[in-house]
Chains A and B, each alone.
Chain A
């Protein structure tokens, strides 16, 4: 055996070794368009689903789908979802899940409402809300990571716990913020420019920043590695626990911004603020093409997923179907997306 394999072993990689050593890398995806498609197949797949869905809606009811009002209303509420969908992509990539963000949205926006109601500048309220979100994210993250708890159950528990706390203290009463409309903060974060809700610009900026954070920053690189192979990451000197806590803090910050935006849309804080976002936001992450097993994901895909999910509800009603169809179509889109992504993605683990 040893004699037979000798020539192979001394001349491995075939005879082309000499020339190959000097040659530049040559990749099937060398053409920029092909490479781009391969690298972004999940996000592009999601975009495809969205376009097909919109085409169906437009075909069903052309008049409603060419009126600006429909888009304007989606663009007002969509940013709220985007601010939590994007950090959740980081959490899922890291191999965790966070179901506590609705309560964090409610809690942080409550702090915002309290500060504004007390007569302080709304900017100060936003800052206070973000600090609250950061602390809550750190609390939830530490509980999961240092407490060694399952993130699925622990964050579910924290969602109930924090929401319960809000309800106990407020006894179900909402807070109206009457002076908010005249403030600078409202003009900057919640008004309209040429009929376009200004929130969407902030949300797009957040998505772009987060996509860069995900793909072009040490944080994103470490989140992916930790979600992919925590043993290896640890061996290579990455503080795995710290990275995990950080993704929960990121969700806390995103939830605080989202909660504040939702209060600014309605000028009122409700003790249930954020509750309705739990399932649509989770659906958006997975419709967007981030798989459940961790290690990979797509921020832009998640954002397109959020757009898709936002349009389902509006679209179904506007297309002339009754509200009873909304859940059915939600489910249909989720299942079809998952099937599409399964076919579209190679799985290496």
Chain B
């Protein structure tokens, strides 16, 4: 694929004696949807926090567009165009879509007065870009009236407005119904089509399987599997693999990769 947006090399993170991440390699290319799968406690959230700069890795290297970055921080992460969309606490539900998209970066003119017309215009453009159009809602609708999937759309539109190159979606479909999940997938595909990248995190393998170009399976702080979509025939194959690393014994070659020595 295209340019490499970000690359993590041998990232380790320990909290005292406990390894949350024991040497993780992960990269995301431009225009790619990477599905990050892992059970609870696999290290997904630590990895997200490192990518967004909230948590600093104990050791390892971070490369932005091929260049190593020193002093990785939340600000550096933002400058690199990485935006994390958290499932619940992202939106102000009593406000309009417009107010949420421009939260903290209102379009203002003279003395801080809002350019309301321009904001609505820009919001419409952003929402069209991710395929979020509706006969029922306008950019001036209240977010509280939207469904779960549509709210994800608002959060994604906001991330795009913030010039995000890589949008990290943290469990975006976990609490959603099938139709709502379909809406989120629609937005994700539109974002990919616009040349941006998405790191899609989930523990529902079916959801991730349907949307990702590439899969990364995380298990107990290590990458247990990296595979292109073309290498995997069905979601069931992934599920079998996941079950296997959870209950080792079936395929002896695989659970070596899960890093038994790091578990202490």
Residues of A within 8 A of B (CB): 1-2, 5-6, 8-9, 12-13, 17, 20-21, 23, 25-28, 212, 216-219, 221-222, 224-225, 228-229, 231-233, 235-238, 295-296, 346, 348-349
Contact = CB atoms under 8 A, between A and B. Distances in A.
A228 B93 contact: yes
A348 B131 contact: no
Given A20-B135, A221-B99, A224-B99, A2 B210 contact: yes
Contact of B95 (A21, A212, A225, A235): A225
A8 B92 contact: no
Given A221-B114, A237-B105, A295-B94, A27 B141 contact: yes
Given A237-B105, A346-B144, A232 B139 contact: no
A23 to B, nearest CB: 7
A81 B133 CA distance: 45
Interface residues on B, range: 35 or more
Given A2-B210, A2-B234, A12 B112 contact: no
User: Which of B86, B95, B113, B128 lies at the interface centre, i.e. has the most chain A CB atoms within 10 A of its CB?
Assistant: B95
Contact of B91 (A12, A216, A229, A346): A229
Contact of A218 (B112, B135, B140, B235): B112
A221 B86 CA distance: 22
A217 B104 contact: no
A21 B133 contact: yes
A1 B135 CA distance: 30
Given A23-B133, A27-B137, A2 B235 contact: yes
Nearest to B141: A27
Given A23-B133, A295-B92, A8 B235 contact: no
A1 B178 CA distance: 11
Contacts of B158: 236
A228 B131 contact: no
B133 A12 contact: no
A24 to B, nearest CB: 8
B185 A229 contact: no
A23 B124 CA distance: 11
A318 to B, nearest CB: 40
Contact of B138 (A20, A25, A224): A25
User: Which of B116, B158, B179, B236 lies at the interface centre, i.e. has the most chain A CB atoms within 10 A of its CB?
Assistant: B179
B89 A232 contact: yes
A215 to B, nearest CB: 8
Contacts of A224: 92, 94-95, 99
A20 B136 CA distance: 11
B118 interface: no
Nearest to A239: B104
Given A27-B137, A346-B144, A236 B182 contact: no
A238 B99 CA distance: 13
27 contacts: A2-B234, A5-B206, A9-B185, A12-B185, A13-B183, A25-B124, A25-B138, A26-B138, A27-B137, A27-B138, A216-B113, A221-B102, A225-B95, A225-B99, A225-B104, A228-B92, A232-B89, A232-B91, A232-B92, A235-B90, A236-B105, A236-B158, A346-B144, A348-B93, A348-B145, A349-B94, A349-B144
Nearest to B139: A25
B108 interface: yes
Shortest 7 CB-CB contacts between residues of A and residues of B: A348-B144, A236-B104, A12-B182, A228-B92, A12-B186, A295-B94, A229-B92
A36 to B, nearest CB: 12
Given A12-B183, A237-B105, A229 B93 contact: yes
A5 B90 contact: no
A233 B92 contact: yes
A93 B192 CA distance: 38
Interface in B157-171: 158
Contacts of B135: 20, 23, 26
Contacts of A216: 113-114, 116
Contact of B113 (A9, A27, A217, A346): A217
Interface in B68-110: 86, 89-95, 99, 102-106, 108
